[in-house]
Structure 1
Amino acid sequence: MLDEPFRGTPFASGWIEIFHSMPSWDRCFIVFRKDGKEWKKNARYELRDASDIKPGFRVFRVKALTLEFYLTNGSSRNWENNSGKNYFIEESGRYLVSYKSMSRVGDADVGSCLRAMRKNDRFIELIYQPPPSWLGCSIIYSKDDDPWLEAPGEAMTRIKSKDPQLFMLRTEAQHMTFAFFDGVEEWDSNMDENYKVGLPGKYFVRDGVCKYIGPSEMDHLVSRMLH
């Protein structure tokens, strides 16, 4: 997952990932409390398969400053609780829990954490601020591994006409690679590297920088309607 769109944003920090492997357990649950709040009950929060990252492991992801926890197979007897002392995390990152031990093995994958928290999101929304000389803007892209859209691409919707002008595109996709075209001869292809986003959301693009700024307006609306 590409973490670049999250750097320098409020979404970049405070994530904890817990990886655990216990082949004899059919399922693995986490009992926890975050930031000193109330405990979450057993058999409610289940670790998910993480074989794509670490074969044979499961993972739990949460946004928290501190986390106290232990692991179970859902019963009242089979616990992995650090010999009765529980596990306690005071620093964000990726952690590996094995029998009676825990170690921090790196930074959390922000994109994977956001995807886990917003697994029903479906739309990518791009807001682009082109160079002042551009009179219009189109986008050429490949989404979800589909073939590239041919030039001149798809016209973006102008949402602000000056000081500065802004263009927008919303499309249903899980990941996307793209570049911008003024419709005449100028391109913004991120120094020939193209821009890339790895999960649904709303992004602001300007001067070679693409930043995640939250869920897309469409997904935000759907989420509010369902809750």
Structure 2
Amino acid sequence: MDQVAELQALDSRLAALQKRRRALDDGAGLHTTLVQARQAWEQARTGLHATEVQVRTWELEVESLAAKRKKFEQDLYGGRITNPKELESLQAEVNALKRAISRIEDQILGGMETIERERPEVVALEQSAKGQDEALAAHVEAYRQEVAAIDAEQAELAARREAMAAEIDELLLRKYERIRARAGGIAVVRVEHDRCGGCHVALPEGMLVRVREGDDLVTCEECGRILRPARV
């Protein structure tokens, strides 16, 4: 009976390891968080870049309009043109260019304010994404180490179980396996306060005596589990 009890202890440990392995966090949640952080950073970075490009486009436009205004002002004030209507037309062009330049400069100012506001946000989002990446890498490494440790222990216990099972009477082993299969993985239990340690039903005195003597295989009449004496 001792061998069957030891086999049960091994099987219980193997089951606990399997449950522990299934419960391990493989980092899927952290990976989702990382993806979201990267998307937020990329979206902000793209928006900032678009604003920077737009501001540069406006600056080039201002440079072009300023060059035109300078040429018109040279014509206007250079003395080469004396026709009043032409001078009036030139003045109108200069005024229109000034208004256009002023309007675009306001846009540039707004764009620069946006850039100053968004650039620190982009940096913060980048740092957040990098932090999430490092956290995931550390978690995955710890997860892999934990899995490797569990797998190694499982392999060792499985080898011990195989060797132990080979030493148990074949009929007894089959009975043990049948009970374990239908009793939630627990085929051998100890008597606890004169009750079955599996289903907790009260055991008759005659059965308790047989369990304590340990001369034969005694099973609970209620749940069918193999009974072992209470711990002393």
Q: TM-score, normalised by structure 2?
A: 0.21
More helix by share: 2
Q: TM-score, normalised by structure 1?
A: 0.21
Greater C-alpha Rg: 2
**Structure of higher RCO (CA pairs closer than 8 Å, 6+ residues apart):** 2
More strand by share: 1
